[in-house]
Every structure is written in C-alpha cells, then in structure tokens.
Amino acid sequence: VTSTEQTPLAIEIGEEIEREGGITFARFMQRALYDDPLGYYRSPERRPGRGGDFITAPEMHPLFGIAISRHIAECWSRMGEPPSFVIREYGAGVGGLAYDIIAGLLDAHPELRPGLRYEMIELNDHRRRQAMRAMTEVGLGDVVVAAGQPEPGTFDGVILANEVADALPIHRLIVRSGSLREAWVIRGASGGFAWDERELSPDSEAMEIPEYLVNHGVDLAELPEGSVIEVSPALREWTREIAQSLRRGYALIVDYGYPATELLREHRLQGTLRGYSRHTVNEDPFIDVGMQDLTAHLDFSSVIEAAEAHGMRLEGLTTQADFLERVGLGELLVNMQQQEGMTIDVYYRAQAAVYRLIDPGGMGRFRVLGLSKGMQGASPLRGFTETATHL
Ligand SMILES: C[S@@+](CC[C@H](N)C(=O)[O-])C[C@H]1O[C@@H](n2cnc3c(N)ncnc32)[C@H](O)[C@@H]1O
C-alpha cells in the first residue's frame, strides 16, 4: 500500500479504478507506460532509464551494435545474401543501436547498401523524429524508415528488440493455498493505489498457467504460499506479431529474463517487477505514475513457446556475455588497437565498456534469444554455438 502526491496520470487512472471498481496490474502498467500523452514512454523528455547504471547496452558503447551487426551479417549470409534485406528494430529509441548496426554492416558489406532497409519501430514520436533527423544528417535517410507501428504484411530479414519486451504489461498472480489468485489495483486509503487479491481476470485465466507450470515441472501445490508469478498476455501477443510478420529470416531478443525453470525458483518468486525513478530502482509501481519506467523480467520459455506455435524455431538462448563473446566482441576490441590514430584513453574507454557489457553480475547476465523462420537446414549461428572465441 502506497500513497504519494498524485501525478496527473495517477489521477486519471484513479478515476478509471473508481468507475470499474478495480483494474488488473496489466491495465495499470499499460496506462502508466503507454497512455497518450501522459504515459512514461510518450514523454518528450529522456529520463534516466533502467539497469546497467541507467544506460542500455547500445548507449554504453558502439561496439555493442557493431558486434550485433556481425550477427546480422551472418543471418543475411545464411539467408543466401538476398539483395533486398530488412532489419526491423522494435523500440529503436533515438536510433543509437540502429546507427551502429548500419555502420558495422555497411563497413563489412558495402554491397548491401542499395537493398538495405532499416525500420525503426518506436512509439515515441519525439524519439522517432530525433532519430530520423540524426539519420538524415549522417546520410542514411535513404536506408532508414521510422514508424510507430510496423506495417502489416510479411518480410524477409531480421527482427531485433533490445530492452523493449520487458516493458510489456504483466499480470501479477499470487499462490494461495495451492491455487492462483490475482493482484488487482484499487484505490489506497490515503489516495494512492493498493493491491487487492481477487479471482483471476479473464486474460490471466486464458494463459492456462497451472498447465504451463506442470509442463515446466512445477507443482503449484508445492510453491511457497504468497509466491508471485508474473504473466504477460501482451508479450505472447507481441511474439505472435513478430512470428507472423517474418516470412523468412531471424529474430534476436535481448532482455532481462530467464527461462521458466529459472524464473520459478524460489528466490525469484517475489516477482521481478521494478520501477526506475529518480536514478534509483524500487519495487513500488505506484509512485511517480507516468514518470517512472516499469519493467519485469521476461519469461523466455513463454516467448519460445508462442514463437514455436507460430512457425518459428529456436536458434538458441544464451547470456549476453556468451553471445557477445561468440560473435567476436573481443576481436573487435583487439582490432581497435591497430586502428590508425587510436589513443590510449579511447581504447581504455572501449575496454571498460566491453567489461561492463559482459560482466556476469551486470549486463552480461541479460539473455539473448535467437529465433528463426523458414531457415530449416541452415547452419547454426555463431552467437549460439558452444565454441566460444576467447578474448
Ligand atoms: C529501454 S528503451 C531501449 C531503447 C533501445 N532499444 C536501447 O537499447 O537503447 C525502450 C524503448 O522502447 C520503446 N517502446 C516501449 N514499448 C514499445 C512498444 N510496445 N513498441 C515500440 N516501442 C516501444 C520506448 O519508447 C523506448 O524508446
């Protein structure tokens, strides 16, 4: 139970709760992040973000994007080097990762340029405009397109999402006497919001969680009383969208998260929902509504299952540290030493960033999920093979 001064969006959500008599947490999260214009992701300001000392991996250093570009080049090659090739990035923000990927790709494969189309899917209008301006300034206006939503229809290429899917709304389910209840959001005593345990909403019911747990070797009756299980119909829906939009090619999803068996271990059963606000991380989604970022770890098993149900195949699920090492991040760093005009401080900055990107206690523990469609018979991708290249 929380109470703080109310933001304008908190007041609006409070009115909906009065009307409805309570809303699911997924509905609350949907509004807090995506309401137009007051939701967190609609704001013109760039607020300090989540995790990794409040910057994302691409913001850390261009080597991250260049390493990803090596993976994408490999996907292109596995697809038979098609002359027309689309990269669709969800949550492209101001285009930093897009720029590094395009630069890395065109450096290695200049022949790709005429057929390359990079789609930045970013729902924030301000970030999208800023990204397009920057891309036009650096002469990439002909390669990049930006949109709030992907166009319907299918394409051949690669789908990419870095730290986006963890912002899709979740429902919070609670284990009570061996069965599941749901945490709904109601008005708190002092004007804020509070949790209220009730029966499952129809959306949560439709996720068939008891069966899902059984399939992952977990007995609901044996979970500790009060365990929290987060479920996301929105994540399942988004996975369906990416699976159906790809005719042939690959997807790469990088995020906080675990496969179900790890997520359902006792110490994670308090839930992974976090708020990022005023430079700190907290466990109170009800403060600074619309001004704080909300995230929950992905259940990668549910993503894989939804993808497979729509014709995709698992290429691999690994940590960011292993993935980056395998696609040659270390090699890229070593190559920097040979670059003409390289200075010690530029090199050390890159080296420090590489350590942070692969730090097992930090960003290195993010997960990287590879999926493919229509690629039966293609050899495995280097990023997901067991033989690591050593630094
Ligand atoms: C944490 S930022 C990550 C940005 C970038 N991918 C990076 O790694 O630096 C999440 C971005 O995804 C956008 N976003 C969030 N949900 C989205 C959705 N459902 N569809 C498209 N973009 C979304 C946000 O506006 C924000 O720019």
Q: What is the pLDDT of residues 75-122, one digit of tens each?
A: 999 999 999 999 999 999 999 999 999 999 999 999 999 999 999 999
Nearest CA-CA partner of 148 in 174, 175, 129: 129
| Whole-number pLDDT of residue 151 | 95
The residue among 157, 92, 105, 165 whose CA lies nearest residue 131 is 92
Closest CA to 157 of 238, 69, 70, 251: 251
Q: How many Å apart are CA 261 and CA 217, to the nearest integer? A: 8
Ligand 1 mean position, distance from CA 234 (Å): 15
Contact 256, 30 (CB under 8 A): no
| Most informative mutation of 45, 56, 164 for ligand 1 (most atoms within 8 A of CB) | 164
pLDDT at residue 60, as a whole number: 87
Q: Is the pLDDT of residue 216 over 70?
A: yes
Mean pLDDT of 376-388: 85
Q: How far is the CA of 73 from the centre of ligand 1 (A)?
A: 23
Cβ of residue 357 lying under 6 Å from some atom of ligand 1: no
What letter represents residue 191's amino acid?
A: G
Integer Cα distance of 286 and 305 in angstroms: 31
- The one-letter amino acid at 96: G
- pLDDT of 388 higher than 60: no
Q: With a cut of 90, say whether residue 275 has pLDDT above it.
A: yes
pLDDT digit string (tens) for 306-337? 999 999 999 999 999 999 999 999 999 999 99
Rounded to the nearest 5 degrees, what angle is found at the Cα of 34, between the Cα atoms of 28 and 38? Answer: 95
Ligand 1 atom closest to Cα of residue 49: 1
Q: How far apart are CA 5 and CA 11, in angstroms?
A: 10
| CB-count burial class (<10 Å; 0-12, 13-18, 19+) for 365 | middle
Q: From ligand 1's centre to the CA of 178, what distance in Å?
A: 37
Share of the chain above pLDDT 90, in %: 85
Q: Over 60: is that where the pLDDT of 238 sits?
A: yes
Q: What is the pLDDT of residue 46?
A: 64
Distance CA 183, CA 194 (A): 9
Nearest-angstrom CA–CA distance, 363 and 56: 9
Tell whether ligand 1 has an atom less than 6 A from the beta carbon of residue 100: no
CA–centroid distance, 236 to ligand 1, in Å, is: 17
Mean of the per-residue pLDDT values of the chain: 93
What are the helix and strand counts (H, E) for the chain? Answer: 14, 17
Sign, CA dihedral 65-324-93-98, equals positive
Beta strand 116-121 with 144-147 is parallel
Q: Is 93 in the pocket of ligand 1 (CB under 6 A)?
A: yes
Residue 2 pLDDT > 60: no
Closest C-alpha residue for ligand 1 atom 19: 168
Q: Please determine, for residue 387, whether its predicted confidence score (pLDDT) is greater than 80.
A: no
| 255 neighbors 367 (Cβ within 8 angstroms) | yes
